[in-house]
Amino acid sequence: MPRVIGGSLETHRDVTRERIFDAFARLMYEQGYDSISLADVAAASGLARTAMYNYFGDKESLLIAYAGRETARYVAQLHDALAAVDGPVAALQAYVRSQIAYFAEHHLPPGPALRHMLPPTAFEEMLDHVRALDDELHGILTEGHEARYLVADDVTGTAALINACIARASALHENGYDLDRAADLAETFLLRALGVRLDRDGNARRLPRTRPRS
């Protein structure tokens, strides 16, 4: 019988799952998701192949569990970043920079970008985590638009375009751009696209009221 780590079966399982996740993340970074097998992950995490099935029955279930853990962690980090700023424009800036920084350090992207990596059935199981990120961005855009700090008549469409821009900025970093430079470009582009007006001190100014059409 394998040695129990941490003094209890529950702790042993938690520690082993973390080893599996770490090995899975490393292999995805080195080889890509499609080229690795569950046996590869078992070997990289120091488990017998048969022991792996006590934790995950197939590679897709491992991916779902790993993506869920990573997205939940990221949502908690994002909440901390947003709590440290005031106003919808500063919150949008924090959202953009936080996501780009996360993309740079993790092989698996957080939130809506997972839609393009996970199989459709797997992504459906991730929707609760992803909605938490969508809700954050939708809330920022709604507040900013209603308070006249930015233009976002179509919040859902605008959020989708913002997430696409974040993904492309992350690709710039992967292709040799300095991380801060890639984040600066994305932030500047998005603020201009949303009509944000900043004063000399970088504080957001309200947009003029639009006159109703006669």
Tens of pLDDT, residue by residue over 168-207, are: 888 887 788 898 999 999 999 999 999 999 998 888 999 9
The span from the CA of 145 to the CA of 154, in Å, is 10
Query: In this predicted structure, what is the pLDDT of residue 205?
Result: 93
Domain boundaries, the chain: 1-57, 68-205
Query: In this predicted structure, what is the pLDDT of residue 201?
Result: 87
Please name the CATH architecture into which domain 1-57 falls: Orthogonal Bundle (1.10)
The SS3 assignment for 13 reads: helix
Secondary structure E strands in the chain: 197-198, 204-205
Regarding the domain delimited by 68-205, which CATH topology (the fold level of the hierarchy) does it fall under? Tetracycline Repressor; domain 2 (1.10.357)
Angle at 128 between CA 124 and CA 132, to 5 degrees: 135
Contacts (Cβ under 8 Å, ≥6 apart) of 72: 129
Q: Within its chain, how far is the Cα of 61 from the centroid?
A: 19
Contact 62, 160 (CB under 8 A): no
Which one, of 29, 30, 13, 104, lies nearest residue 65 by Cα? Answer: 13
Per CATH, 1-57 and 68-205 having the same topology is answered no
Extract the residue ranges of the chain whose pLDDT is less than 50. Answer: 1-2, 214
Query: In this predicted structure, what is the pLDDT of residue 1?
Result: 42
pLDDT 10s digits, 110-120: 555 566 666 67
Which one, of 162, 152, 212, 206, lies nearest residue 187 by Cα? Answer: 162
Fill in the DSSP letter of residue 55: T
The span from the CA of 79 to the CA of 81, in Å, is 5
Query: In this predicted structure, what is the pLDDT of residue 180?
Result: 92
